Amino acid sequence: MNGRLRAGLIAAAALALAVPLAGCAGGDGGSTAGGGGSASASASGASGTIALLLPETKTARYESQDRPLFEAKFKELCPNCEVLYSNADQDATKQQQQAEAALTKGAKVLVLDPVDGKAAANIAAKAQQQGVKVVSYDRLTQGPIDAYISFDNERVGKMQGEGLLKALGDKASSGQIVMINGDPTDNNATLFKKGAHSVLDGKVKIGKEYDTPTWSPDNAQREMEQAITALGKDKIVGVYAANDGTAGGAIAALKGAGVNPLPPVTGQDAELAAIQRILEGEQALTIYKPIKPEAEQAAQMAYDLLQGKPPSGTTTTVNNESKDVPSVILDPIEVTKSNVKDTVIKDGFWKVDQICTGEYAKACTTAGLS
């Protein structure tokens, strides 16, 4: 056999061995470890389809932070994989349809942030029937899920309550507060509310309390207007708002009623508008939940499950009324005017030039940001 023919046969044999390896989908575990990066994922030829199902768009974080951060990390882990993305626009039925469509398209892992955690148990059950894994993201899903990642959400409510009491000072006993809670179908909203009450009850008088459908700022504004009418604008010393969207609605109602100065108002999510309001003195605080580590760890968990491996990074379990779910629970951070620079800016969550635009330039200078 001549040298050229021998070389050709060797190359053909090598190619024949390589092709099955390159074609392996990540179902039964490839050569990439759970913590592997893009180079190892690409080398193993791992592939497959997953779905990212987010709940709504009225909270700015989902489209501006969660989705791009998750997709970027997952693409790094698995360049040959496909991510099917859907947003339910706060419609549980629509989310069920989106999940079913993802399963039909061959998704092997669902990363699910449920509109309604209880209703989403049906999604988890259908996924399990088809051998598909489910990562419950940010909000807890009932049913047969495989992993959960979120923040200590009861602690979030406690921090909001503690921050409000601190901002009120001596005024805590001189008037009434209004509580603008989140959507009652969201398990996180229930935990925020529980945590806040554990701090506020007995320390302040709660004049009015509302659960805000769909977390809508418009609904929050109407609730606050009702509270002002019922209590009197001069009798309200503070507002517990469960997130920054509801805080914005409450502040709009207070301004519309001519309240000046504004009472302390809480928030959550460190939205850009909320950081600007904090610097202006219109909002007392927000709770910053670092979304980058949450989204990236969720991507890692999804990739692990796609490979047939246990989800990495879990340090505890959380009971979702169906089972004890392997979980990652992250720590929230309070943000006030005094630590904007050392929190959201330091982490790169927001840049100075994003915050300090136009009318906020002066407040930024005063806060030492520009």
The domain spans of the chain are: 20-151+291-330, 153-289+333-366
Is the domain covering 20-151+291-330 a CATH 3.40.50.970 domain?
no
The tens digit of pLDDT for each residue in 261-275 reads 999 999 999 999 999
Indicate whether this model's pTM tops 0.85: no
Tokens of 227: 């509270």
Cis status of the peptide bond prior to 217, with omega within 30 of 0: no
The tens digit of pLDDT for each residue in 294-352 reads 999 999 999 999 999 999 999 999 999 999 999 999 999 999 999 999 999 999 999 99
Higher pLDDT, 49 or 39: 49
What are the CB-based long-range contacts (under 8 Å, 24+) for 38-43?
38/75, 38/76, 38/77, 38/78, 38/79, 41/76, 41/77, 41/78, 41/79, 41/80, 41/303, 42/79, 42/80
Residue 132 has pLDDT above 70, yes or no: yes
CATH topology of domain 153-289+333-366: Rossmann fold (3.40.50)
Closest of 162, 151, 155 to residue 336, by C-alpha: 162
The tens digit of pLDDT for each residue in 27-40 reads 333 333 333 333 44
Cross-strand bridge partners of residue 133: 109
Q: What is the mean pLDDT of residues 46-61?
A: 94
